[in-house]
Amino acid sequence: MSTLVQSVDWLAIAPPTIAAVVGLVVLVADLFLDERRKALLGWVSVAGLAVAALMLLPLLDGDRATFCLAGDPHLCSYTADRFTLVIQFLVLGGALLAALLSVTVLEDAKRRIPEGEFWFLLLSSAAGAALLPASRDLATLVVALEVASLPAFALVGMRYGDKRSSEAALKFFLSSVTATAVSLMGISFVYASTGSLYLTQIADRIQHVDGQLHVLAQTGVVLTLVGFAFKTAAVPFHFWVPDTYVGAPLPVAAYLSVVGKAVGFSGLILVTVVALPSYSDVWGPALAALACLTMTVGNVGALRQQATRAYSAVRLLAWSSVGQAGYLLVPIAAAGYSKDAQKAIGSTVAYALMYAAINLGAFAVAALVGRTRTLNRITDYRGLYASNPLAALFLAFFLLCLAGLPPGIIGLFAKVTVFSAAVDAGLGWLAVVMAVNVVIALFYYLQWTTVLFRAPEGEPEKQRVPAPLTAAIALSGVLGVALSGAPQLVLRFSETGLF
């Protein structure tokens, strides 16, 4: 029976495992800690995420694979290649920044949010999200997707006694479960027509599918994409985003906007480029249409936000994250048309890294402003420069990065790589649609930026910025500035193969 026992490379699976174990530790520790010491849990979680991210370092030396079939060592469920490491870094780093935001928000919430549960859920979700890019078979992929999503539903509904929060959670839960169910059905179709769950084996076998099963396989491909498109918040699976972001605690919204998206698009990449490259004529156009719709609807939605409405800042970030998801999809769609799919995928990864650092920074400043102005309207940002110049300058920088205009050089060049992936693949029309969208997006980002520098109404109120928030803003700010000076740090992924 020894042939059935798979060997496990513990170092390779360390990053998601550490996140999960620390989550359990925090949950248990919560029972034994008295009220005054609860803040400790937050710091333990932050440290756990940092250690998990550091555990990526020893894996840099080469590709590793584990959980391989004993009979066929080339078929593995878990692979730590460059793609995996980059996405795991993005996920764990994003979770770390979101955790830093949470420390302050939980402290301000004065025990209305149960701390032990919060940290446990956040870490479990992060563990699932870190597992996802490494999974190389459809079953692991779906398990990872669910591990990443299920805690997120609970996180969204965390605000006790807040009707909006529970409504958001329910909306999120129902739509997400539906999408997953559709996805599962697609996977079963693919399994039925190929007889395998391993991505590389599917890629092989699906080319020789029996003619009668051809339609089944095609339907399976499209349905499988639905679940991941949902996570990426692609239109028409985006309607949950604004309400969920507004209803959720702000750090959770930040987490979803970055890590949730990473889960979605890395799953999409695995399914399309690794498992179904021969079906690129099906998913290529589908993703191109999806990208086009997503960015247009997202940006127009953001454009229509009224600055005076309650929570308009968070709403705007929510809609703009939908628009940004559209840009992320462009290179994946281009991968379906181009001869060098790896290069196109690299553009998505590079863009996602930029977006993660910058968007979390913007959310961090929003969390800062939200401490005193609980309604978090865009008009509440008026005169931020007078009361807190550094935060205002950083937010302006983040917004211009998202818009892709200097001084946000990294935002500009990340967009350039996406454009070049589209132009290279011959998707000129998509590039033109994206160009128009960039202009629409500039309008609302710049409008917000100008508000920051207007003269404040009344005396500017100085407030002390809590250390975790300072750390989060500074971390993303420094990252953004450093990347603007040396864009090659992230853009190199768009040049070389990741798998």
Partner 1 sequence: MIDISESVMQILLAFIVVVPLIGALAALLPAPPGLKGKSPEQAVLRHGVTVTGVVLIAAIVLALGFDHDHPSKMQATTDISWIPALDVRIHLGIDGISLPLLVLTALLTFLCALYSYFKMPAGPSPKAFVALVLVLESGTLATFAVLDLLLFFLAFEMVLIPMYFLIARWGGEGRTQAAWRFILFTLLGSVVMLLGLLLIGLKAGTFDMVALATDNGRSLTASVQVIAVLAIGIGLAVKTPMWPLHSWLPDAHTSAPTVGSVLLAGVLLKMGTYGFVRIILPIAPDGFHTFAPYLAAFAVVGIVYGSLACLALAKRGARGDLKRLIAYSSVGHMGFVLLGIASTTPTGVNGALFANIAHGLITGLLFFLVGALKDRTGTTDLDTLAEKSGAALYGKAPRLGGLLAFGAVASLGLPGLAGFWGEMLAMFGAFKPAADLSRPAFLTFMSIAAFGTLLTAAYMLIVVRRVCMGAGPQDAPQLADVHTYELAAWTPLVALTVVAGLWPRALLGLTDPAVQQLLAGGTR
**Which residues of this chain interact with partner 1, rule CB under 8 A?**
350, 400, 405-407, 409, 412-413, 416-417, 419-420, 423-424, 428, 431-432, 435-436, 438-439, 442-443, 446, 450, 453, 455, 487-488, 491-495
For residue 148, what are the contacts with CB-CB under 8 A and spacing of at least 6?
A: 125, 126, 128, 129, 131, 132, 259, 260, 263
Q: How far is the CB of 410 from partner 1 (least distance, A)?
A: 10
Convert 184-198 to b/e letters by CB count within 10 Å (16 or more is b): bbbbebbeebbebbb
With a CB cutoff of 8 Å and minimum separation 6, the contacts of 174 are: none
Cβ 312 vs Cβ 245: under 8 Å:
no
Give the residue with the Cβ less far from partner 1, 73 or 485. Answer: 485
Q: Which is nearer to partner 1, 43 or 443 (CB)?
A: 443
Nearer to partner 1, 57 or 486 (CB): 486
CA 148 to CA 179: how far, in whole Å? 14
State how far the Cα of 41 lies from the Cα of 103, in Å rounded to an integer.
Answer: 9
Q: Which of 399, 134, 370, 398 is CA-nearest to residue 252?
A: 370
- Shortest spacing between CB 220 and partner 1, in angstroms: 34
Q: In whole angstroms, how close is the CB of 306 to partner 1 at the nearest point?
A: 17
Report the largest interatomic distance among the alpha carbons of the chain, rounded to a whole angstrom.
77
CB of 486 to partner 1, least distance (A): 8
3-state secondary structure of 435: helix
Decide: 189 and 267 in contact? Cβ < 8 Å.
no
Question: Minimal distance in Å, beta carbon 492 to partner 1?
Answer: 5
Q: Which is nearer to partner 1, 14 or 490 (CB)?
A: 490
Least distance in Å: CB of 428 to partner 1? 7
Residue 178 CA, distance from chain mean position:
20
Taking the complex as a whole, the smallest distance from the CB of residue 290 to partner 1 amounts, in Å, to: 21
- Which residue's CB is nearer to partner 1, number 78 or number 444? 444
Closer by beta carbon to partner 1, 76 or else 442: 442
Say what the alpha-carbon torsion angle 273, 276, 279, 281 is, to the nearest 10 degrees: -20
Closest distance to partner 1 from the beta carbon of 419 (Å): 6
Return the closest-CA partner of residue 324 out of 300, 350, 299, 346.
Answer: 299
* Closer residue to partner 1, CB minimum distance, 232 or 437: 437
φ/ψ (deg, to 5) at 76: -125, 150
Q: Which is nearer to partner 1, 67 or 89 (CB)?
A: 89
In the numeric block, the tokens 């479990």 are attached to 124
Q: Which is nearer to partner 1, 171 or 454 (CB)?
A: 454
As measured in angstroms, the least distance from the Cβ of 162 to partner 1 is 38
Question: How many whole angstroms separate alpha carbon 178 and alpha carbon 190?
Answer: 19
